[in-house]
Amino acid sequence: MRIIDLIVHQRSVPLSIPFTSAKRGVVREAAIVYVELKLEGGTSSWGEVSIPTCSGETVEGIRAAINGPLRTAVHGQEVMDLELLLDRIKLSLIGNPSAKSAVDIAVHDAHARVLSVPLYRTFGGSAREFETTVTVGGGFAAQMAQRATELVRDGCTSLKIKVGQTIGADVDRVLAVREAVGPSIQLYLDANQGWTAKTAVAAIHRLEDAGAAPALLEQPLPSWDLAGMRFVRERVETPIVADESVGTPQDALNIIRQEAADVLTLKLQKHGGLRPALRIATLAEAAGLSCMISCMFESQVSISAAASLASARGVIRYIDLDAPLWLAASPVRGGVQYSGTTLRLSDQPGLGVEGLKALAESQV
């Protein structure tokens, strides 16, 4: 079955509450670009990319990349020639990982639909349900503690706390959240490259001494500072997670060689799609590391793809796929569904996505 057309759709989706982080400031809506691949016989498959991206790509640049070289790469190609198709996507242009990811996901969706199996089955997966971490955005300590309390009351068992500002304020935020939610809730800290090596060590030691050690510390230092990441890793008990530091499989290999992290974060938009993410997970597994699978402000299309990968790879121990819970309304029919903080994959072919809702309907 061949790809006969590629159509780009765009949606602006408000967030249910504003999201604040040290790196991005305040985000109030997600601009989502969808890729629809039209297949012979009238079937459609889907991919997506959400702005802001990890790579700095813009909506205009993403649309140009998809409508230009990426369209050329897939148009008229046989869906069952999966590896050839993915090679063509990779080689179609330099960089642009988020744009590539949208088309990569749509191609994987198409391949699974032709096989009439859910995407997670094509990876050899069996698990369909996952409990996700939910992020508490930055703010004053009391505000973050209140938000954390609300999430735990609704059934959340692990929280990601945004830090990366001054050490005193960050420690106060974490201590306030820990006091509010109690000792049984796992806390992951995400500094978004905001600390230095010495301040990261000092902050974690203060939290460890106070009995509030986090379960993970994500990207405490600038992405390029692998020596600093190793410095922190060697001086704290808390496992160190590389996020912005790992964009490509080559980045992952460099982190492994320098012993700069315990966990590698997978984001489909960051890597360029499912295939490069799978390769990074394989490297992590071979090196004895773990992976966290995470996301931007994506809807059920990309989240279904990410969860399908997690279903099949035990090395992906940490699930951070809460993005649809931040959207005021879903623009998508079908795909992964949520019950509180539990997400469940569809058993329909491919991603299980039936299509986009009408604009008026998606805003309800």
Q: Write down the domain spans for the chain.
A: 3-116, 121-362
Which member of 162, 198, 270, 357 is catalytic?
Answer: 162
Which member of 38, 160, 198, 267 is catalytic?
Answer: 267
Q: Per-residue pLDDT averaged across 124-142, rounded?
A: 94
DSSP 358: P
Cβ within 8 Å of residue 251, ≥6 positions away: 245
In whole angstroms, what is the distance from residue 53 CA to residue 63 CA? Answer: 13
Residue 364 has pLDDT above 60, yes or no: no
Dihedral class, residue 273 (left if φ above 0, else alpha if ψ from -120 to 50, else beta): left
> Is 357 a known active-site residue?
no
In whole angstroms, what is the distance from residue 337 CA to residue 339 CA? Answer: 7
* pLDDT at residue 358 in the model: 78
SS3 267: coil
Give 29 or 321, the one with higher predicted confidence. 321
pLDDT band at 23 (very low <50, low <70, confident <90, very high): low
In whole angstroms, what is the distance from residue 314 CA to residue 293 CA? Answer: 12
> Is 38 a known active-site residue?
no
pLDDT band at 362 (very low <50, low <70, confident <90, very high): low
In whole angstroms, what is the distance from residue 312 CA to residue 52 CA? Answer: 28
Query: What digits encode the pLDDT tens for the residues 223-279?
Result: 999 999 999 999 999 999 999 999 999 999 999 999 999 999 999 999 999 999 999
Q: Of the given ranges (30-44, 53-67, 86-100, 308-322), which has the lowest mean pLDDT?
A: 53-67
The amino acid sitting at 362 is S
Query: What digits encode the pLDDT tens for the residues 141-189?
Result: 999 999 999 999 999 999 999 998 899 999 999 999 999 999 999 999 9
pLDDT band at 100 (very low <50, low <70, confident <90, very high): very high
* pLDDT at residue 28 in the model: 87
In whole angstroms, what is the distance from residue 357 CA to residue 355 CA? Answer: 7
* pLDDT at residue 54 in the model: 74
pTM of the model: 0.95
Backbone angles phi, psi at 14, to 5 degrees: -65, 150
* pLDDT at residue 111 in the model: 98
Tokens read off for 316: 């992906």
Q: Of the given ranges (23-32, 44-53, 143-152), which has the lowest mean pLDDT?
A: 23-32
**Topology alike, domains 3-116 and 121-362:** no
* Summary mean pLDDT of the chain: 94
H helices then E strands: how many in the chain?
15, 16
Contact 45, 85 (CB under 8 A): no
What CATH number labels 121-362? 3.20.20.120
Burial (CB count within 10 angstroms: exposed 0-12, middle 13-18, buried 19+), residue 273:
buried
| Residue 63 CA to its chain's centroid (Å) | 21
* pLDDT at residue 137 in the model: 86
| 3-116: CATH superfamily | Enolase-like, N-terminal domain (3.30.390.10)
For the chain, what's the residue count? 364
Contact 321, 342 (CB under 8 A): no
